Structure 1
Amino acid sequence: MAPKTGKHPLSSRAERETPSTKFAFPKERKEPLTDASHVRNAIARFNQVEGVSASERDAAWRRIKAAAKKYGIEVSHRPR
């Protein structure tokens, strides 16, 4: 059994049950924004998401910024 790290990753079931509105990229269900750890991860992986349009990427960034504000995460700029 793996040691506990204090983090609570989304299980496959939890991810399936998470509403699409809780993802940075809801159509693709990529980058969940369910807690501070996932929001930081979404910021770090923002430019790695493939197969999305520029408008989808813009909307995802707005969702990430809103989630970051909710969890008290400072976002200085959009990753390039």
Structure 2
Amino acid sequence: MMAKLDQKDRDDLSARQFAFQEQRKEPIEDAKHVRNAIARFNQVKGVSDKERDEAWKRILAAAKKFDVEVTEKSWREIGRD
């Protein structure tokens, strides 16, 4: 089941609660959203590799905080078998 936020809840989140803070993309405020951010990571458009690197670090920190297992060491590994 996909984690959902209505627009008001999304607007109430601080930029720090998003993987891509400047764009306010991929919220990471709980375990469901962290898993969703990982699953949708490669679907985010209009960001640089540097922004992806920074977002990945935020996702890993949130994953640790919410006890979400992440098998990929880099965002470049997402979707590889």
Q: In the alignment, which of 44, 63, 70 is matched to residue 39 of structure 2?
A: 44
Cα distance between partner residues in 2 of 1:71 and 1:19? 18
User: Which residue in the other structure is 1:54 paired with?
Assistant: 49
Q: Percent identity?
A: 52
Looking at CA atoms only, which structure, 1 or 2, has the larger radius of gyration? 1
Per mean C-alpha deviation after superposition, the further-off stretch among 9-18 and 58-67 is: 9-18
State how 1:15-54 maps to structure 2 within 5 Å. Answer: 15-54=10-49
Tell whether the 8 Å contact from 2:3 to 2:36 is kept in structure 1 after alignment. no
TM-score by length of 2: 0.85
Structure 2 residues not aligned, in runs of 5+: none
User: Which residue in the other structure is 2:62 paired with?
Assistant: 67
Report deviation, 1:8: 6.7
Aligned pair count reads: 75
Tell whether the 8 Å contact from 2:3 to 2:33 is kept in structure 1 after alignment. no
Q: Which amino acid aligns with 2:41?
A: F
Q: Which runs of 4+ in 1 moved over 3 A?
A: none
In angstroms, what is the RMSD of aligned CA positions?
1.7
